[in-house]
Structure 1
Amino acid sequence: MGLLRVMMPPKLQLLALLAFAVAMIFLENQIQKLEESRGKLERAIARHEVREIEQRHTQDGLRERDSSASFPPDNEDDVVIIYNRVPKTASTSFTNIAYDLCGKNHYHVLHINTTKNNPVMSIQDQVRFVKNVTEWREMKPAFYHGHVSFLDFTKFGVKRKPIYINVIRDPIERLVSYYYFLRFGDDYRPGLRRRKQGDKKTFDECVSAGGSDCAPEKLWLQIPFFCGHYSECWNVGSQWALEEAKYNLVNEYMLVGVTEELEDFVMMLEAALPRFFRGATELYKTGKKSHLRKTSEKKPPTKESIVKLQQSAIWKMENEFYEFALEQFQFVRAHAVREKDGELYLLAQNFFYEKIYPKN
């Protein structure tokens, strides 16, 4: 090479160096493309292996189920969802979607009707309920709903817990809706006589007069529903109950939506649990009866009434819980959907498996 440099003119030497550099860049690009192709091939092979493994597991599960009918199938047909609905949070609207879909999607819907709508079960009823939910195979898969506070199934030695979901609402809006519901009912069952029917006093008049039906203590409901069957949960203004409700919301509930963003809640459930909620979003948008329940004769409260309620420590705690739930829901939604042209779109699967050993 040294002899060539002596014999070659400087211009030719420069051209030779440029040619060499171009050749090296070309080789590096080819090597990079080969590496990318190898990566794509490895991912394709990994996905193929995953599909084969899933197919084998499915076939093995079917063979095991056929060969041993005494054991319940460990698949999505064994799933139980519990929606321990809080009153006046659009719970009937959402539940009607489940009723509309149960025949098409092949699951059972069961209403938990407690005496006098008492959200706290006796210890013997807790045992009965847990036994029913876990062992009533003829009713699986199942969607249970009712005005019942959270019940921890692990306390009863249950290994496969149900999936909890729920919806909550701005605490003052929920109370106002409930106040007028007790007096005027709604458009769902307009002929049904309500407990306070005939009382024409508005919510603002109730607040001004210091009435019991609009007292701050009536705001204390969403926290105990999530807190559960402990006595402290129902002590109005308990800080322990607030923290327990937050803990359960994050650790025991798969998803908790808010009334104000119910469509997003429905869409995310359909993506996460299509076995139950396939078609729910379209039904919510276009259905004629699934989400039309509205409280009759409801009058928005004045600013003065709202400010008066917001001065109470109970509102501050219930609102803190609502804001906590809203932030959690928006966090989950931000990692599940994207917005484009005013429409929300679910994100595609964003993970895969690779380097699966041993090789078949």
Structure 2
Amino acid sequence: MGLLRIMPPPKFQLLAVLAFAVAVLFIENQIQKLEESREKLERTIARHEVREVEQRQAHDLVRETPAPDDLDELVIIYNRVPKTASTSFTNIAYDLCSRNHFHVLHINTTKNNPVMSLQDQVRFVRNVTSWTEMKPGFYHGHVAYLDFSKFGVRAKPIYINVVRDPIERLVSYYYFLRFGDDYRPGLRRRKQGDKKTFDECVTSGGSDCAPEKLWLQIPFFCGHYSECWNVGSRWALEQAKLNLVNEYLLVGVTEELEDFIMMLEAALPRFFRGAADLYRTGKKSHLRKTSEKKPPTKESISKLQQSAIWKMENEFYEFALEQFQFVRAHAVREKDGELYVLTQNFFYEKIYPKVN
């Protein structure tokens, strides 16, 4: 009976339980805040340590005789596919080279042959890797992909490229051969004088508009293997895909060239600082346009799309487009109709051993 008399009433028991629960919640909240503060402090310390390391490295570079900067050793190869807006893009590199202090070199092959002889491959690799006076360098030309690792070099160049819808590319090339463009309007082209339209060529079964003429972007990415140039080769298609994802830093599409340029500027400002603004406002960026080009009819397009060659070239184009859009989605954001490059979104933390 005595024990029962000293027990608090149920009302006070409930209040005590509630007070205890509130105290537990308050303590858990304080612990969470302390954990967040600890993480924030760790990030601040990590950033401070990285800055100290960078400052020491900068001090050492000033104090000692440095080796050449890696950025000053960079070489970019743009093995440009014909009629993919390659001249428009290359003109930007020519406009920027003096300002950004790099060299631009055109790879001019005899008769525009995209395949080099074995001895020329060796010469080219040796030139690109050892020609110190031309570094940093931007090489461009209508040449097939060349695997530098086959030649035992330690530093491989950075490959970039642009692809285009295969039928649109073929139509542009067809009229280019007959009417030229506004880049060099006085130059006489190989098919000048031939007034036959692309549709008339398709209807009559002409060779210049045959499905075999679509086979170009795949071999350019496939490279210097004989199978690459066997029209309709499934092996060549798969090799081209592998090279695109494994050997190229970035492959853009003609239809979204401005986004390609913007991403290159963000990734390689040593070369492309100011490129996006120059593309939007410069006089040369849209300079080269094929003259007298007439869009093909649906019937002509449908006839080409029935071929196995178009299906393979289009599969490669769609593959390249999907990869480009994937990279872009993780590199830029759109706001109010404008694209913005993302800032650095990673940092280092928990760096050990601690720097004194």
Report the more deviating stretch, 185-194 or 339-348: 339-348
In the TM superposition, 1:26-175 aligns within 5 A as: 26-61=26-61, 66=65, 73-175=68-170
CA contact (8 A) 1:96 1:291 kept: no
CA distance in 2, matches of 1:14, 1:262: 70
Q: CA deviation at 1:59?
A: 4.2
Q: Which residue of 2 aligns with 1:299?
A: 294
CA distance in 1, matches of 2:129, 2:303: 46
Query: Aligned AA for 1:270?
Result: E
CA distance in 1, matches of 2:95, 2:284: 9
1:205 maps onto 2:200 in alignment: yes
CA distance in 1, matches of 2:231, 2:153: 31
Out of 175, 178, 184, the residue aligned to residue 189 of structure 1 is 184
Structure 1 unmatched ranges of 5 or more:
none
Q: CA deviation at 1:103?
A: 1.3
Cα separation, partners in 2 of 1:198 and 1:4, compared to 1, 3 Å: farther
Q: How many residues align?
A: 354
Query: Aligned AA for 1:107?
Result: F
CA distance in 2, matches of 1:145, 1:254: 15
- SS across alignment from 1:317: helix
- SS across alignment from 1:338: strand
CA distance in 1, matches of 2:62, 2:228: 44
Query: Aligned AA for 1:197?
Result: Q
Q: CA deviation at 1:175?
A: 0.4
Q: Which residue of 2 aligns with 1:285?
A: 280
Q: Note the aligned Cα RMSD (angstroms).
A: 1.9
Q: CA deviation at 1:21?
A: 2.8
Structure 2 unmatched ranges of 5 or more:
none
Q: CA deviation at 1:288?
A: 1.8
1:314 maps onto 2:347 in alignment: no
- SS across alignment from 1:256: strand
Q: Structure 1, residues 9-39: CA drift from partner, whole Å, max 9, x if none?
A: 5444443443333233222212211110110
CA contact (8 A) 1:237 1:317 kept: yes
Q: Which residue of 2 aligns with 1:249?
A: 244
Task: Using structure 1 for the length normalisation, give the TM-score.
Answer: 0.93
CA distance in 2, matches of 1:4, 1:111: 100
CA distance in 2, matches of 1:327, 1:4: 77
- SS across alignment from 1:159: coil
CA distance in 2, matches of 1:338, 1:5: 71
Q: CA deviation at 1:7?
A: 6.3
1:18 maps onto 2:13 in alignment: no
